[in-house]
Amino acid sequence: VRLLESGGDSVQIGESLRLSCTASGFTLGETDVAWYRRQPGNECKLVSSISVEGSTDYTDSVKGRFTISQDNARNTVYLRMNSLKPEDTAIYYCGAKDSDRPTPDCYNHMDYWGKGTLVTVSS
């Protein structure tokens, strides 16, 4: 059972990236999934989530720029990130959990989480 994030890269301000979170050993569509990020010296931050029912949520700083989506055929959740800013620089982690409890503050309190993928945005 594991989650694997991919898609992180070094980009310029205003560019876009699509992160992928692919599950193996379980069905991602049967869980709530969330993307988190951890910036140097900062706490873990919940960025976006998608529930089993398909409801989505975003932290204020990424609303209108980031989109979370799910492809059940690929057992993958995506995070499309547009208009990237330097403050989006972070390691991005995805996590998954049963839907019977609230989304925790950090990925390492989810039922499953990955090792992260690095996004660097520079001017």
Identify the pLDDT of residue 37. 98
Considering the chain, what percentage of its residues have pLDDT values greater than 70? 100
- DSSP string for residues in 60-81: GGGTTTEEEEEEGGGTEEEEEE
1 pLDDT band (50/70/90 cuts)?
confident
Work out the pLDDT band at 100, boundaries 50, 70, 90: confident
Classify the C-alpha dihedral 18-22-28-29 as positive or negative: positive
86-106 as b/e: b if 16+ CB within 10 A: eebbbbbbbbbbeeeeebbeb
Distance CA 76, CA 115 (A): 15
The amino acid occupying position 98 is D
Report the DSSP pairing between strands 112-113 and 76-81.
Answer: unpaired
Average pLDDT over residues 65-72: 97
DSSP E strands: which ranges in 28-116? Answer: 32-38, 44-50, 56-58, 66-71, 76-81, 90-97, 112-113
